[in-house]
Structure formats: structure tokens, C-alpha cells
Structure 1
Amino acid sequence: MQPSTLDRVVERPTIATVVRPALPAITLYVFFQLLAFGVLWLLSWKAGVSPGRFVGAFDGNWYLSVAEHGYNQAVTVGPDGLPGENSLVFFPLSPALIALLGLVAIPPLPAALTVSLLAGCAAAWGLFVLGRDLAGPRVGLLMAVLWSIGPGSAALHMAYSESLLVALVAWALVAVSRRQWPLAGVLTIFTGLTRASGGALVAAVGIAAIVAIVRRQDGWRPWLGGLLAPLGLLGYLGYVALRTGRPDGWFWLQGGWQMHFDFGSFTWIQVREGLTSNESSWITVTALFVVVAVALQIWAWCTRLPLPWQIYSTLTVIIALCSSNYFQSRARFLLPAFVLTVPLALLLAKLPNRALAVVLPAGALVSAWYGAFLMAIVHLNP
């Protein structure tokens, strides 16, 4: 006798069944990071240095210092009136996770690389879900892969916070698309504790919540999500303001790195120099990446995408291109703008697998060479 409908046991999805569709994206993410590290090893060997010198260097040193010692630096001012370099510029979530792994006796650098790896896998999963919900699993897979091999992807296998930022942003946008407003708000709080550019997500979630409120959707939930969203970013900026005794404390401390918002004038000068100079250099390559990013942003505007995606992408690109120093890091600053991969993913999804098997590894090698060249040969922060 067949059991009635009421007698049937409804199987709840397990973590394995939920993750399984994203496993190809996660696997390719890990593969391309290993490939990129192999390229870094080769160029480091050619330069006569160890690749281990770079994975925890540059900004990674600051994150590791905060993880081990907290924000223990005094705020100092030089004779020129500018502040000295200070760890307060680096947001606390990534160092906190590194310190958390330290509680189980994992040394700081391996802990930082573990955080980067796991966060990167979570980001690839989130990007797959976003792309799948937008245009199918093939587009989701390509979004995750294209992001993982982007020109700034060297940061994904270093002690940096980009992978953590993108993981939180991707899943926050998934929550917005599913109208899970409290979850979106909580994820945005953590994003605001990861990097200052998390402000782009605060704006995206906030505007999406306002639209839902105006349309009288979902009752009190968008109110809660919208109100929660800025708390992480405002909380840390407030903490730095108290430490420095200035309401603009965090932005003032950026002056220690000669960093400020300049409406893109520095980037424009560098792009013009890179594209008109008689001698090619890393500046030329970086200038080409910037031009491509701007073109992709325009292409994204012409693509039918959810409003929160467009807001987040536009603000992230503006933040990345309108800072006044470290031109070589523009590709890394643009890495969180994963929405730029959507037009390319939609285009490449039409190609057969045999073509993608050539195009994607080739792109990964070019990107890996660029990041490794900056570190091992030019000795610059990627």
C-alpha cells in the first residue's frame, strides 16, 4: 500500500546537496589559485627570492600585525603635518579571523592564507549562485572563474582581505535577490568591517531596501535590513574617530599613504602616460586594464542587471579609480567589482567547452604573470 502524501517524509536539503552544484566553480577557483602561485614561484625563482616572501608581505604585514598585537600603534604626526602610517587604516574583520585561528595554534601567516582560501571558495560559491539565478549555471560558473582569474587576483592567494570582502558581498546580494532583508543587513555589517569599499554594498542594500519599502513589500524586513547595513562601516569609522580625536580620522590617516579621493585625476594621468609613452612598462599594462574595466562598466550599464548590482559595481569602480596613489594596485582595487564579469560571462557562455578550455587558462596565465611580475620583479604591492 502506497503511503499517503501526509505520511511522506519531506527530505530537507543537506549542506552537501546545496554545495554540489557549485563544486565545479569552487574546484576551478582552487585550481587557478594554485596555477597562479606556481607562476609566482617561477618568477620568484628567476629573481632569486622565495615566493613565501610575498604572500604575507605588503598590506598582509599590516593585517598580520593587527591579528597578533591589535591596534597598538600610537597615532603620530610628521613635521609635514601628515599622520604616520598606522594600522588603524586596516579594517578589523580579516585580522579577527586570523586571530581566531590562532586560538587553535595555527601560526598567523598560515592562518591568514587559510582565511583567504576559505573565503575565496565561499566567494566562488556565492558568485556561482548569483550568476545561476540570473542566467543559468553556465553563466554562474563563468562569473566565478572570471573573477578568480581577474588581473588583481594575486591578492586571492595572499594575506589580503579581497576574497573575504567578495564572499560577503556576493552572499549579501544573494540575500537581497531573495528578499532576505535581515540576512542581507547582517552580511553588510560584516562587509563594512572588512574594507572601506564595503560602503558600496551599504549603498546598494540601502537603496534596494528603500525601493522595497516604497513598494510596500515584505513588511518590516527591508526596514531592518536597511538600518543594519551601515552599522559595521560606521562603527569602525567611529572607533577610528575616537582613537584619532577627529571625526574624519580614518580618511585623515589615509594621508599617511598619500591616499585621498581625487575624482580620478591621478588615474587619468597614469593611464595617459601608460598609453602614450614610447616605452612599454607595467604602467602600460595597468593602464590597459583600467581602460578595459571602464569599458566593461559601460557594458554592464547596458546589460539588464538587478539595480543593487549596478549600484554596487558603479560605486566600487569609482572608489577604485578615484584614489590618489598606488596605480599598480588598480587591478586589485577593481577585483571586488565582480559585476564587471557578467557581460563577459554572458558572451563566453555561448562558446563550446573546448574553446573555454583554451581561453580561460590563457587568461589565468596572463593575470598570474602580471601579479607575480609586480611582486617578484618590480617589487611593488600588487
Structure 2
Amino acid sequence: MPQSTLDGTVEPLSPSRQALPAIGLYLLFQLVSFGLLWLMSWKADVSPGRFLDDFDANWFLSVAQHGYDQPVHAGPGGAPAQNSMVFFPLYPALVAVLTFVGIPALPAGIAVSMLAGCAAAWGLYVLGRDFAGPRVGLLMAVLWSIGPGSTALHLAYSEAVLMALVAWALVAVARRQWLLAGALALFAGLTRASAGALIAAVGVAALVAVFRGRDGWRPWAGGLLAPLGLLGYLAYVGIRADRVDGWFWLQNAWQMHFDFGVFTWIQVKEGLTSDHSSWITVTALIVLIAVALQLWTWTTRLPLPWQIYGTLTVVIALCSSNYFQSRARFLLPAFVLTVPLALVLARLSNRALAVLLPATAVLSGWYGAYMMTITHLAP
């Protein structure tokens, strides 16, 4: 079927080829961001490769190479010691597949992230195209790929894998492919704990279909399938830790827990009113912008599963204690925040977008590189 492209021409494209601009721009902007990381590394007089397997990446790559080989034990005062089981298994398992065929762990981790990012950009394009046309779909994919936390997309982190599963699960929900949606949510639950937002979105959508008498037994099956990955892994960690709340208990080693946004609120106030490091102020502004965008999405007529997923993802991102500098990365899966912006930017000329989008990509890439190379904080 003929589709309009960004330059206004109309030509017949296969469904897969329609997404090539979104995938191509995703790769281009990741290359720009990656290049900025290398330049900032040299400016900081540090080997560029030092940051690629640091922070969470080091834990993921350890699981990929050695599995969950750490015993669970408590440190002084009964607090748990840091343990790799906090890091969910799907991403390191995919990395392990590539290492099995001879690819070193770090390149394998980056390759998995980049390939998953391509799949995510494709899925976001499809979501946006079906919602408001190909131009909006393209902008949704691009805006997600150049968000403030997008540095993680070309590191050995699991955000890209999660986003690919989220995007295609929501495509499956829209197309009433309940078994596929449930299976993708299951795998998302093996990727990050924040997949609970997707599980809730799939579950509610399935319940709506059941109450409306649609699609027979399939919504039941998809809804019941969705939480099995997350629940299964939490049960595994609970057995290893010999306590029901094992995974949540292990999170305490990083001083991480759900605090209803108290820590984030304190950090935002300090970032805006105190003479602290500049990164705290920038991160505070990112948090406020995310909240404003979340409110904006509530005034936009979005599909119910998108609203549920987006709202819960923002709540999870902003209501965890510690690691304030990582709020932008925690918000990265909240692609719904890009929808109102995409709808507005779709009205701009191609010339304006050709200036605005690359400039945003450079600013975002610099921010991520600055956090890692100058402040030496995890993205």
C-alpha cells in the first residue's frame, strides 16, 4: 500500500521496508552518541573502553560468562551483600549465546543492545504509524532513541531488549494477538523488574477483551501468560535467598527500594535550590519535564494499554530510592512520553526537523558521556 515518507513523496513499500528510516536514524544517532562518549573519554584522559563494561554492564557481563555463581549471604548488621541475581537473566542469556559462538563478552553485549534497539525502533514506528500515521511513527522511534537516557542503548545494558519486547507486545495487543502479547510480556518479565508495567497493560487489555466477549479463550491465555516470567524469576531468587522477598531484599545492597518518590522529590528540590553539582540540576529538570509530559499524555487520546504502561513506568522510575543520576535511564522505557511531542513535531517542516533532531541527539549524547566520563556516575 502506498505510504507517505518524510519528504512528502508517495511510493509503495513493504511493511518491513517502511521501518527502515526509523532503524537507520536510530543507528545513526547511536553512532553519534557513541562517538561523543569516546571523545569525552579522551578529554577526561581515560581509556574510552573503560566505560563500556563498567557500572551495571559489568554485572550483566559477569552473569553472561559465569551465571549466578555468587552465594547469597548477609553482611554486617544483616544487610545483604551485593549479588548478581538482582540483574534479570534474559539480556545476559542473549549475550551468552553470542559468546558461545566465539564473540567476546563486551562486543556481544553491545551487539545485543544495538540489535534489540533496532527491533525497538521498528516496533515503535509500527505503533506510531498505526496510531497517527508514518510520520508520527518515525518521530516516536527517533525521539525515544535520542532521549536523555539513551546512552544505555549502545552499552551492555538491558534497556534496549526491554523496549523491543514492550513495543512489539503492545503491537500484538493492538492486533488482538493475545498469545504473542502474553509471551512477549513473559520475556520482558525476565529482562527488568519494571516490566511489571507492561504486564499490567497486557493484563488489563486482556480483561477488557474478556468482558467484551472478544477472541474467546485467547485473552485469558495471554493475560495469564504475561506475568509468568517476572513471577518465575522472583520465585527463583526467593528460593536461592531462602526468603519470599529475596529479590527485593537483595536490592537493599544498593540501597534501592520503592519509596513513593520521597528520594526523588528531595533530590529535585536540592537540584533546583542548592549550589550542588550541575548534573543534579540537569537531572532534576529532566524529572520535571518527564512529569509534565506524563500529564500531557493524560490529555491525549491514547490507547488504554499505552496509558497504563506509560504511567506505571514513570511511577516506577521516579519512586525508587538512590541513584538519582539514573532517572533519565529509568524513564527511557516510558516511550509514551514521546507521543505528544511526536504529534506536535509532525507539523514541522523537514528542514526544521533536520536541525532539531540532530541537535537534540548531540545534546543527549553529550549528557550521557559527561555523566560517565567526567562525574564518573552510572548512566
Match of 1:38 among 35, 38, 56: 35
What does residue 176 of structure 1 align with? 173
Q: Which amino acid aligns with 1:233?
A: L
What does residue 4 of structure 2 align with? none
- The within-5 A match list for 1:171-210 is 171-210=168-207
Q: CA RMSD in A?
A: 0.9
What does residue 312 of structure 1 align with? 309
Q: 1:238 to 1:280 in 2, by over 3 A?
A: closer
The alpha-carbon deviation at position 180 of structure 1 amounts to 0.3
The alpha-carbon deviation at position 365 of structure 1 amounts to 1.0
Q: Deviation per CA, 1:189-230, whole angstroms, max 9, x where unpaired?
A: 100000000010010000100000000011111011001000
Q: Which amino acid aligns with 2:347?
A: K
| TM norm structure 2 | 0.96
What does residue 326 of structure 2 align with? 329
Identify unmatched segments of 5+ residues in structure 2. 1-12
The alpha-carbon deviation at position 72 of structure 1 amounts to 0.3
What does residue 256 of structure 1 align with? 253
The alpha-carbon deviation at position 280 of structure 1 amounts to 5.6
Q: Deviation per CA, 1:353-372, whole angstroms, max 9, x where unpaired?
A: 00001111111111111100
The alpha-carbon deviation at position 279 of structure 1 amounts to 5.2
Q: Does residue 48 of structure 1 match 2:45?
A: yes
What does residue 378 of structure 2 align with? 381
Q: Which amino acid aligns with 1:21?
A: Q
Which consecutive aligned stretches of 4+ in structure 1 deviate over 6 angstroms post-superposition?
Answer: none
Of the two, which has the highest radius of gyration?
1
Q: Deviation per CA, 1:264-317, whole angstroms, max 9, x where unpaired?
A: 000000000001124561000000000000000000011000000000000000
- Give the match's secondary structure for 1:219: coil
Cα separation, 1, equivalents of 2:271 and 2:36: 25
Cα separation, 2, equivalents of 1:222 and 1:279: 51
Cα separation, 2, equivalents of 1:243 and 1:37: 38
Match of 1:218 among 215, 219, 223: 215
The alpha-carbon deviation at position 44 of structure 1 amounts to 0.6
The alpha-carbon deviation at position 19 of structure 1 amounts to 1.6
- The within-5 A match list for 1:276-295 is 276-278=273-275, 281-295=278-292
**Number of residue pairs the alignment of both structures matches:** 367
- Give the match's secondary structure for 2:14: helix
Q: Does residue 99 of structure 1 match 2:110?
A: no
The alpha-carbon deviation at position 169 of structure 1 amounts to 0.2
Q: Deviation per CA, 1:82-116, whole angstroms, max 9, x where unpaired?
A: 10110000000000001111121111111101100
Q: 1:208 to 1:373 in 2, by over 3 A?
A: same
Cα separation, 2, equivalents of 1:368 and 1:379: 15
What does residue 7 of structure 1 align with? none
Q: Does residue 359 of structure 1 match 2:353?
A: no
Q: Report if the CA contact (8 A) 2:270-2:276 is conserved.
A: no
The alpha-carbon deviation at position 49 of structure 1 amounts to 1.1
The alpha-carbon deviation at position 32 of structure 1 amounts to 0.2
Cα separation, 2, equivalents of 1:102 and 1:265: 41
What does residue 132 of structure 1 align with? 129
Q: 1:279 to 1:380 in 2, by over 3 A?
A: closer
With 76-85 and 86-95 compared, the bigger mean Cα shift is at 76-85
